[in-house]
Amino acid sequence: MKPVDLARKLRREAAFKPAALDRGKETLMAVIQQEVEPRRRPTVIPQLPYADIRAALSFLERAFGFREIPATRLEGADGVVHHALIEFGDSVIGIGTQGAHGAVSPQRGGIESQFLSVAVADVAAHYQRARAAGARIAREPRGRGAEAHAYEAFDPEGHRWRFVHQRLREVPRP
């Protein structure tokens, strides 16, 4: 037997759920949609304070899939980033300097006074991505009913994020 044939003996097909490919397509099309839709002008923008804004921007992109909105970054002459806007789906969040406007990063304050709840197309894929990027998980996507389709994670400064399947999100229409 050749060495490659030996390796081939250990090849084994996996058994997939019938809808396995549909979920991946949903994930992709949701990302594509973000690029296609014209940018919104949101009425309310939550502002999150961070001690290290560059690190926060990088993490929120890698782990949670936010994107910095081009040309929104405010940078001092010393190269320090003071503020930037990030987007996800149809929502925008401001990433600002810890201490400015009275807002304190949980890293400094020692408590979280709020959390952000974000609707995603594929909670399991989002969870894997966040974990792979080193996010500390606060609540696993387990439990009964709806809670199996939601999880919570901390970003590096201790802001808590909740990600829920978009079907579970019910926002009253005006």
Partner 1 sequence: MSSPSDAEVIGRSLGDPEAFGLIYDRHAAALLRFLGRRAGAKIAEGLVGELFRIAFERRKTFDASRASALPWLYGIGSNLLLKHRRGEARRLRASARMAADGERADRRAGAAALDARLLFPRVANAIEALPDDEREALLLFAWEELPYQSVAEALDLPIGTVRSRLNRARARLRELLEPKGKGRVRSQ
Which residues here bind partner 1, judged by CB under 8 A? 1-4, 6-17, 20-21, 23-29, 31-32, 35-36, 65, 122, 124-125, 127-129, 132
In the complex, the smallest distance separating the C-beta of residue 23 from partner 1, rounded to whole angstroms, is 6
In the complex, the smallest distance separating the C-beta of residue 131 from partner 1, rounded to whole angstroms, is 9
Nearer to partner 1 by Cβ, of 11 and 101: the residue is 11
Rounded CA gap, 156 and 133, in Å? Answer: 11
In the complex, the smallest distance separating the C-beta of residue 21 from partner 1, rounded to whole angstroms, is 5
In the complex, the smallest distance separating the C-beta of residue 151 from partner 1, rounded to whole angstroms, is 13
Nearer to partner 1 by Cβ, of 107 and 166: the residue is 166
Rounded CA gap, 56 and 54, in Å? Answer: 5
Nearer to partner 1 by Cβ, of 29 and 45: the residue is 29
In the complex, the smallest distance separating the C-beta of residue 167 from partner 1, rounded to whole angstroms, is 16
Question: In the block, which residue shows the tokens 């709840």?
Answer: 117
Whether residue 71 contacts residue 84, with contact meaning beta carbons closer than 8 Å, is answered with no
Token reading at 130: 């966040």
Instruction: State the DSSP string of 88-149.
Output: ETTEEEEEEETTGGG---HHHHSS---EEEEEES-HHHHHHHHHHTTPEEEE-S-SSGGGGG
The backbone torsions φ and ψ at residue 169, rounded to the nearest 5 degrees and listed phi first, read -85, 120
Nearer to partner 1 by Cβ, of 29 and 74: the residue is 29
Nearer to partner 1 by Cβ, of 11 and 173: the residue is 11
